[in-house]
Chain A
């Protein structure tokens, strides 16, 4: 910056800045004079400061503008040529967020071609972005006059009315959108919000559930449902959706709000240049499950801006989805070099390394993720599972404990009678359970039992935990905690399940019967199970049951609740681990 410019800036900084810039007697620097064209009054188009744009974007705008100005000066150009030229210029400004310049261009385009749907439609978006909802609605309404069945325009107007609390005007528009497309999730959400404002929780929930069925990854709908169920007093269902929101938020997965295809706005994205252009295209491909195409776009994006962690991260995620885990790990590692210490990147890399069987290295990255963010529940959980697989039970316990403690932040209410729902709640349940299993492997049966019983206070009646308690009571080598009668009581409801009885429950029943001295019954049950398994050609499992059968036949109780090689001690990685795309900034 030259000294004279700096001096000028300093001088200006000292002056009071008043609002209402349009009325200030300050000349608008670089503003083009109004371009007269026949009888259509056209607005001057401001010259935004392009200096901070990427060179390619800057040049494109300059070239397009030069073309427009030369066309406007050539008096031969008619409205049919000038209107799209202004419109295209407006789109270029729009995509670069120069809303004032874009607005002027679109207004001129509309003045020159008053029946063209596109320009008032884009103006609707411009005014919405500026927070001028009245103008936004008016623009969408003008667009609808030209294309009455254009759902995005209808939604634009409807959502504007909704924000202004004009439910009576929003509702018919949402209804119209649904009449045109019954799978229009934003319209269902809008109808739900209107019902909610009228305190009709049942109708709100009906609409939100319908929207969620269409877009299950939309955490916004989960949240609306959670709040609606909470209002109704159905805390279990509310919590299920809250958990889903929390998980999606933490992993930054999925669409935040209910979306609807908008080809006009997607066309705007195609006007972006440089790394961002390809990154946006990559995101779009990723969202549609076209991962190979996403990889290609992300690669180009990274080549244009190699030190930008956003496309690097997404390239890694897309590669992981194509099955190229080595490539994914390489890109995540590069992203970490650009954005060191980022917990989410460490988590992604750890998860990818898990897939590559590099367990020790994966553990290191999970640990770094936790170091950077001690509240990173998923990282605690995955690390704990990994440590279990590595038989480092004592090290796994504190991480399961962290998951349990972090989950308690949701209020610790039990989803009584509900399936639990939500991956986070599932994670918490598993953490309780696996912590107990780690303690069992360390022969700390009493602590395992205490932990499970505490967990049952939070998740009353949870079948897996109830069963684990029963098995410890029936077969623990620790005489202080053994209680065969109580084990039998706990098993009662589990064995009356209408959906069929888990073989493990019967095995535990036999253990409890033996513990209470009913060896014959225990042995008979064991024999029945073995026969069933043999009939189903599961000779491997049948053979394992022979060990306890021998015990019962010799009138001895079982003193090992689980075999040391029971798969229960080796948790598998869950499906929640594959990263999604980032949403505009480094994760």
Chain B
């Protein structure tokens, strides 16, 4: 686990950690750099919940100690503006290509005509104008090999001037120069920032039409296999501050409006022309024909035909599954595919979403977060892009009913080879119990962590997650990735009207892992959409994919991190590239990151 530079702020934790017996040899970035293949790693490790784990929290928030000082300002002034409780998101991205993940955090602004900062119910964290923040990860290794995690706020020198009312962010290399670019979604005009490759960004037009709708989540995907990342932008509802409605809770009390109070906004699909510009192809792709108030989006090949599809989580309207027709268009098939509505045929208030192979059967399943009194919903894929709601069967249903979920991910936090689930919570309407306590922002709720038991069901392990899971906040965006490069997945949580938190994983590296970065042959960018099959000597195959999308208004680590469980060898890694073609690599080293470049593996046929 990382040792923090500012130890005075967390002395007790450092002392406790240093007194705990080392559970396993720590595999760290230094070892990665020198290219050690495998070490004498203990393979008989037992799940911490079964051992008591010596009091070590599975996750620890290190944001302030590591230098991430960020507090979201939602600009609320008692007017119940709809957008004030919907943001923000954040991103984990390596903008400076130094091998570690940096942090981008989306900020709000004061809302409302004729309002001054004195009208704000909560003070801004700094003098306005507020702006999104970029924190550079200056990860180093301590003499004992443990990562030394430290961030520096580089917003001022980055060239990013994001002064809109921010909602979310997407990350992808739009010009194939190997430097990741950013797309910031706003309540207002969205912004595209091109990475100049020198630590700075320049704002560029996002498309051939000014997209001023209220957007939250966006996804970069190469839908036409031309090698350039295209962009889907999910738009929410036609809400404007100039035309606010009076809305009520179910009891008649004044409250925030819901999405059904406003017409849903049309989504946008932009095709990357390959010359630095984007063309709005929403109509040509068919995407313009249906919209339902999009909040989450995730792209994956849901029917295994080798072409990237995408799924849109809509708020209180049926969700959409856009299947790639391989001719430049998509067809919306969610209803027939069984993932538009829940098992009772009801629409749900979908917010965050993720796709992943939850049951290790070789296809992409779906999970999405919902409103309080609904359940979060798990759809299992039958391999052909048809889904079954297995929420209750998996034990994920009842446990999620008291919460309103936003950011979420399939993450194998304990590297046991089974994807677990983290869901981030915070209500959208007043919580009676908090209001009773005169809570100034009575929407906060604790987050939840679920462990995949590998038998189709989950157990809630929130308590074991640590003190950070005892917090009750209004969490929205969540970004997932290996921030300290130690081989397990860490979590960036972005809270509405609260601090950003960086949760460092203390348990994942107790098992073996395989880290992969997938780059194009002539294109030095992360090949979003690539499917990775990790084949073990016993024949078990795990499916993962390269992505930055999913969750809620956030962007994830594009690298693929695969927990190996009790195995200590990988027989082969097979990659299906998003442009077509399948390649295989054998005997890749474990417990370190390897870079796989298209064209450098053994070509295999799809059926091999």
Q: Does A586 contact B (CB under 8 A)?
A: yes
Q: Which residues of B contact A29 (CB under 8 A)?
A: 436-438
Contact B252 A10 (CB under 8 A): no
Q: Could you say which residues of chain B place their CB within 8 Å of the CB of A98? A: 251, 432
**Are A409 and B252 closer than 8 Å at their CB atoms?**
no
Task: Say whether A257 faces chain B, with CB atoms less than 8 Å apart.
Answer: yes
Knowing A29-B436, A47-B436, A220-B346, the reply to whether A6 touches B430 (Cβ < 8 A) is no
Known contacts A245-B341, A375-B289, A585-B260; is-contact A165 B471 (Cβ 8 Å): no
A12 to B261, CA, bound (A): 32
Q: Which of A49, A273, A307, A373 contacts B264 (CB 8 A)?
A: A373
Contact mask for chain B residues 4-15; partner A; CB cutoff 8 A; 1 contact, 0 none: 000000000000
Are A28 and B437 in contact, with the CB atoms below 8 A? yes
Q: Decide: B347 and A342 in contact? CB cutoff 8 A.
A: no
**What is the minimal beta-carbon distance from A29 to any residue of chain B, in angstroms?**
6
Q: Does B180 sit within 8 A of A, measured CB to CB?
A: no
Q: In the assembled complex, how far is the CB of residue A371 from the closest CB belonging to chain B, in whole angstroms?
A: 10
Please measure, in the bound complex, the distance between the C-alpha atom of A220 and the C-alpha atom of B256, giving whole angstroms.
Answer: 28
Answer whether residue A365 sits at the interface, using C-beta atoms and an 8 A cutoff. no
B541 at the interface (CB under 8 A from A): no
The stretch of B141-149, B171-179, B241-249, B579-587 in contact with A is B241-249
Closest to B438 in A: A29
Q: How far is the CA of A246 from the CA of B334 in the complex (A)?
A: 11
Residue B40 lies at the interface, judged by CB distance under 8 Å to chain A: no
In contact, A307 and B246 (Cβ under 8 angstroms): yes
Whether A52 touches B254, Cβ cut-off 8 Å, given contacts A10-B122, A220-B346, A339-B245, is: yes
Q: How far is the CA of A91 from the CA of B249 in the complex (A)?
A: 17
- Whether the Cβ atoms of A133 and B472 lie closer than 8 Å is no
| B469 and chain A: residue at smallest CB distance | A19
Are the C-beta atoms of A48 and B432 separated by less than 8 Å? Answer: yes
Whole-angstrom distance from the CB of B336 to the nearest CB of chain A? Answer: 5
Binds A, one of B351-359, B386-394, B553-561: B386-394
**B308-354: which have CB < 8 Å to A?**
318, 331-333, 335-336, 338, 341, 343-347
- Is B470 an interface position by the 8 A CB rule? yes
- Of the residues B335, B344, B386, contact of A220 by C-beta under 8 Å: B344
Is B281 located at the chain interface by the 8 A CB criterion? no
Which residues of chain A come closer than 8 Å to B344, judged between CB atoms?
220, 223-224, 256-257
Contact residues in B for A495 (Cβ distance below 8 Å) = none
Chain A: CB-nearest residue to B260:
A585
Determine whether the beta carbon of A96 is less than 8 Å from that of B398.
no
Q: Are the C-beta atoms of A48 and B435 separated by less than 8 Å?
A: yes
**Is B402 engaged at the interface, CB distance under 8 Å to the other chain?**
yes
For B259, give the chain A residue with the smallest CB separation. Answer: A585
Stretch of B85-93, B152-160, B183-191, B439-447 with 4 or more beta carbons under 8 angstroms from chain A: B439-447
Please, how many angstroms separate the alpha-carbon atoms of A171 and B266 in the complex?
45
B345 touches A18 (CB 8 A): no
A350 to chain B, nearest CB (A): 16
CB-contacts of B106-149 with A (<8 A): 121-123
Contact among B123, B252, B290, B438 for A274, CB-based, below 8 A: B252
**Docked CA distance A57–B254 (Å):** 12
Which of A13, A273, A275, A408 has the most chain B CB atoms closer than 10 A to its own CB?
A: A13
- In chain A between 336 and 365, which residues have their CB closer than 8 angstroms to a CB of chain B? 339-343
The reply to whether B497 and A13 contact each other, CB–CB distance below 8 Å, is yes
State the Cβ distance, A355 to closest chain B Cβ, in Å.
24
**CB <8 Å contact, B261 and A585:** yes
CB of A327 to closest CB in B, whole Å: 24
Q: B238 at the A/B interface (Cβ < 8 Å)?
A: yes
CB pair B440 A13 closer than 8 Å: yes
Contact status A165-B393, CB under 8 Å:
yes
Closest chain B CB from A133 CB (angstroms): 5
Question: Is B318 a contact of A97 with CB atoms below 8 Å?
Answer: no
Interface flag for B47 (CB, 8 Å): no
Is the C-beta of B433 less than 8 angstroms from some C-beta in chain A?
yes
Indicate whether A74 reaches chain B with its CB closer than 8 angstroms. no
> Within 8 Å CB of B263, what residues of A?
341-343, 372-373
B78 at the A/B interface (Cβ < 8 Å)?
yes
B565 touches A (CB below 8 Å): no
Contact A222 B471 (CB under 8 A): no
| B401–A276 touching, CB < 8 Å | no
- Pick the contact of A409: B288, B289, B372, B441 (CB < 8 A): B289
Min C-beta distance of B394 to chain A, whole Å: 9
Please report the total number of B residues contacting A with Cβ < 8 Å.
Answer: 70
Residue in A13, A230, A372, A584 whose CB lies within 8 Å of B441: A13
A355-395 CB contacts (< 8 Å) to partner B: 372-375
Q: Is the CB of A410 within 8 A of B336?
A: yes
**B346: contacting residue among A57, A257, A339, CB under 8 A:** A257
Chain B residues contacting A219 (CB-CB under 8 Å) are 345
Q: Which residues of B contact A342 (CB under 8 A)?
A: 263
Asked if A242 meets B335 with Cβ closer than 8 Å, knowing A18-B471, A96-B252, A223-B345, the reply is yes
Interface residue? B96 (CB, 8 A): no
Complex formed: what's the CA distance from A340 to B263 in Å?
Answer: 10
CB pair B436 A100 closer than 8 Å = yes
A21, B291: Cβ atoms closer than 8 Å: no
A341, B289: Cβ atoms under 8 Å?
no
* Contact across chains for B78 and A1 when beta carbons are under 8 A apart: yes
**Closest residue on chain B to residue A47 by CB atoms:** B436
* B33 interfacial contact with A, CB 8 Å: no
A29-B438, A223-B344, A276-B248 as given contacts; A19 in contact with B290, CB under 8 Å: no
Chain A residues whose CB sits within 8 angstroms of the CB of B246 once the complex forms: 307-308
What distance in Å separates the Cβ of A400 from its nearest Cβ neighbour in chain B? Answer: 15
| Residue A95 interfacial (CB < 8 Å) | yes
A77 within 8 A of B: no
Is A249's CB under 8 angstroms from B471's CB? no
Instruction: Known A19-B472, A256-B345; judge A409-B437 contact (CB<8 A).
Output: no
Instruction: Name the distance in Å between A530's Cβ and chain B's nearest Cβ.
Output: 48
Query: In this assembly, does A32 line the interface, its C-beta being within 8 Å of a C-beta of chain B?
Result: no
Q: Is A46 an interface residue (CB 8 A)?
A: yes
Judge if A53 is at the interface, Cβ distance under 8 Å.
yes
Q: Is A456 an interface residue (CB 8 A)?
A: no
Asked if A129 is an interface residue, CB under 8 A from chain B, the answer is yes
The residue among B251, B291, B472 with the most chain A CB atoms within 10 A of its own CB is: B251
**Which residues on B sit within 8 Å (CB–CB) of A536?**
none
Contact between chains at A52 and B402 (CB < 8 Å): no
CA distance A410 to B333 in the complex (A): 6
Closest to B316 in A: A585
The reply on B397 being an interface residue by CB < 8 A is yes
Query: In the complex, what residue of chain B is closest to A26 when comparing beta carbons?
Result: B437
Contact yes or no, A275 B252, CB < 8 A: yes
Within 8 A of B (CB), among A183-232: 197, 219-224, 226-227, 230
Q: Answer whether residue A532 sits at the interface, using C-beta atoms and an 8 A cutoff.
A: no
Chain A min CB distance to B91 (Å): 25
Of B258, B346, B432, most A-chain CB atoms within 10 Å: B432
The listed residue with most A CB atoms (<10 A of its CB), out of B123, B344, B401, is B344
Query: For the complex, what is the distance from the CA of A257 to the CA of B386, rounded to whole Å?
Result: 23
Closest 8 CB pairs of A and B: A223-B345, A131-B401, A9-B440, A52-B253, A131-B402, A585-B260, A96-B251, A220-B345
A residues with CB within 8 A of B: 1, 6, 9-10, 12-13, 16-21, 26, 28-30, 46-49, 52-54, 57, 95-101, 129-133, 162-165, 197, 219-224, 226-227, 230, 238-239, 242, 245-246, 249, 256-257, 272-276, 307-308, 339-343, 372-375, 402, 405-406, 408-412, 584-587
Report B's interface with A, CB cutoff 8 A.
78, 121-123, 238, 243, 245-255, 258, 260-261, 263-264, 266, 286, 288-291, 318, 331-333, 335-336, 338, 341, 343-347, 372-373, 386, 388, 392-393, 395, 397-398, 401-402, 430, 432-441, 444, 446, 470-473, 497
10 A-B pairs in the complex with CB atoms less than 8 angstroms apart: A1-B78, A13-B441, A52-B254, A98-B432, A163-B398, A223-B341, A276-B251, A343-B263, A374-B266, A410-B335
In addition to A29-B436, A341-B263, 16 A-B residue pairs with Cβ atoms within 8 Å of each other are A12-B439, A13-B122, A21-B437, A49-B435, A53-B251, A96-B251, A97-B432, A165-B393, A220-B346, A221-B345, A223-B341, A230-B386, A257-B344, A257-B345, A257-B346, A375-B291
